[in-house]
Amino acid sequence: MPRPLQLDPAALTLRLQTQGPLSAQALALAAGVDRSRVSRAVAALAPRIVRLGTTRGSTYALRRPIRSLGDTFTIRRIDADGRAHDWAELTALHGGWRLNWASPGHAPAWAGELFGLGGFSEGFPFFLGELSPQGFLGRAVGRGLPPTLGLSPDPREWPSDDDTLVYLAAEGDELPGDLLVGDAMLRRAQDRLLRPPATLPECDRAMRYPELATAAAASGIAGSSIEGEQPKFLATLATGAGPTPVIVKFTDIFSTPTGRRWADLLAAEAQAGAILHIHGEARAAPRLLDAARRRFLETPRYDRAGSQGRRGVVSLRALHDAFTGPDTHLWTTAAAHLRGRDLIDDAALRSIRLRHAFGRLIGNTDMHFGNLGFWFDDALPFRLAPAYDMLPMLWAPAPGNATPTPDFAPALPLPAEREIWHEAAGWAADFWQGVAADPQVSPEFAAIARAAQATLGRLREVA
């Protein structure tokens, strides 16, 4: 049978929609035409067609509109002074995504590991997927989104990365880290630079924090603290050092068993943060405030610089998924994989091992991959960001049991772990001693701390 004289643009469109990027040779073979016919059909579909690469091995892909927002999105970064800089351009394609860097000769050092010919990737860029609203604050964000966006009020129910991109382009002007997607979010950030939001005087915290907590609790999920996820809000304080963005956790009222236990846990988190700060693993020691029968734990945001500047951050979860880490839930195993690929250095790996050992020795059972962060820069290796969310979650309220008293039985170290374990055990001993002596801790939890201190002492004798 003779080959068809032409390649129908509609047939080319359908093939690229269903199969994703294809080379000219693959298109010609599938359609039974000469490669010259492919070039003509591609030209007829311009500019809907994207060529990935410039060599003979290049492929063709079809642009894919995201709702009514188009198919191409500019990604910018906000520097420490609050100024925006073009960083990349993202194009949605059938079968994946394309990234073009604003400075083609200066692509991030890690880009070659993840993006193929012409900047193509089948998966959504890890640094954007990371920005989908998460946790207590994320669900509050979801419920506040305009219905016109067509997004579920619970971000956990968003069916695809397209929903995340819609959110980033329409409402993502105050994201964690330093990225902005699209011109509308840039204009919002620029407006904020010209008209900074009001700051909260430090002297007003005792009055304003309870009001902010009430508002956050009203928009939160009932019983969220019982489920082990601490309610929180964001604020910017007016301090002697200038505007200071903070994240503030808060408890239920002290008269409830849940409120009392979380008050103890926040006091313990403050102790852990202070110790990690002393040893160079945390940016600053958290501050406690009791007001209106609640306890507040205030921590400076390390992804912000002053009132307007920002710093890029990315979680271990995002790096682990992007760089195909092993099937593990342990920080140390995931970090060793990153080190093996030269994505982090020896100093970062050692710090992660120290933090992990310290966490285990203070009963932190919530060291998930979202609770370990890295600075997000163009350079390699990724540098470890300050520690956060380090507290004895073994004793956190659970459904049906607001004040659990579980056994505290940390494992002894393996021989290869002994040096770091003993160093972390010294930190943990200081932690438990501090908790036991803290006047802001209830007698019941002080007793728990003394028992844990005794357990740790026995372990150190035989380890």
DSSP 124: P
Burial class (CB in 10 A: 0-12, 13-18, 19+), 144: exposed
Across the range 187-202, mean pLDDT stands at 90
Across the range 235-256, mean pLDDT stands at 92
163-172, 221-230, 276-285, 319-328: the lowest-pLDDT one: 221-230
Q: What angle do CA 243, 249, 253 make, to 5 degrees?
A: 125
Beta-bridged to residue 207, according to DSSP, are none
Residue 134: what pLDDT?
83
Q: Which residues contact 188 (CB under 8 A, 6 or more apart)?
A: 173
pLDDT in tens, 353-409: 999 999 999 999 999 999 999 999 999 999 999 999 999 999 999 999 999 999 999
b/e sequence 96-108, b meaning 16+ C-beta within 10 Å:
bbbbbbeeeeebb
At 344, list the tokens.
């982090």
Measured between alpha carbons, how far is 36 from 22 in angstroms, rounded to an integer?
15
Residue 433: what pLDDT?
98
Residue 220: what pLDDT?
55
Peptide bond into 47 cis (omega under 30): yes
Measured between alpha carbons, how far is 244 from 110 in angstroms, rounded to an integer?
32
Given its phi and psi angles, is residue 96 left (phi above 0), alpha (psi -120 to 50 degrees) or beta?
Answer: left
Measured between alpha carbons, how far is 291 from 280 in angstroms, rounded to an integer?
30
Measured between alpha carbons, how far is 382 from 110 in angstroms, rounded to an integer?
9
Task: Tally Cβ neighbours within 10 Å of residue 194.
Answer: 6
Query: Do 213 and 296 touch, CB atoms closer than 8 A?
Result: yes
Q: Which residues contact 176 (CB under 8 A, 6 or more apart)?
A: 131, 303, 313
Peptide bond into 381 cis (omega under 30): yes
Strands 232-239 and 200-201, bridge-based pairing = parallel
Residue 380: what pLDDT?
97
Nearest to 196 by CA among 246, 240, 243: 243
pLDDT in tens, 12-71: 899 999 999 998 888 888 877 877 778 888 888 889 999 998 777 789 999 999 998 999
What is the residue-averaged pLDDT of the chain?
Answer: 92
Measured between alpha carbons, how far is 444 from 395 in angstroms, rounded to an integer?
12
Across the range 97-119, mean pLDDT stands at 92
Residue 229: what pLDDT?
67
Burial class (CB in 10 A: 0-12, 13-18, 19+), 409: exposed
* pLDDT tops 60 at residue 163: yes
Measured between alpha carbons, how far is 47 from 45 in angstroms, rounded to an integer?
6
Which sequence positions are flagged as catalytic?
A: 366
Q: Which has the higher per-residue pLDDT, 3 or 236?
A: 236
Across the range 275-300, mean pLDDT stands at 96
Across the range 155-161, mean pLDDT stands at 91
Residue 1: what pLDDT?
47
Residue 46: what pLDDT?
85
Residue 9: what pLDDT?
83
Query: Do 319 and 113 touch, CB atoms closer than 8 A?
Result: no
Measured between alpha carbons, how far is 93 from 87 in angstroms, rounded to an integer?
20
* pLDDT tops 70 at residue 221: no
Across the range 334-339, mean pLDDT stands at 98
Residue 4: what pLDDT?
55
Across the range 200-217, mean pLDDT stands at 94
Across the range 255-276, mean pLDDT stands at 97
Order of strands, edge to edge, in the sheet holding 200-201?
200-201, 232-239, 242-250, 294-300, 287-291
* pLDDT tops 80 at residue 6: no
Query: Do 394 and 408 touch, CB atoms closer than 8 A?
Result: yes
Residue 227: what pLDDT?
32
Q: Which has the higher per-residue pLDDT, 5 or 254?
A: 254
* pLDDT tops 80 at residue 427: yes
* pLDDT tops 60 at residue 123: yes
- Our measurement of the distance from residue 450's CA atom to the centroid of its chain's CA atoms, rounded to an integer in Å, reads 35
Counts of helices then strands in the chain (DSSP H, E)? 15, 17
Q: pTM score, two decimals?
A: 0.93
Gyration radius (Cα) of the chain, Å: 26
Across the range 342-351, mean pLDDT stands at 98
* pLDDT tops 60 at residue 104: yes
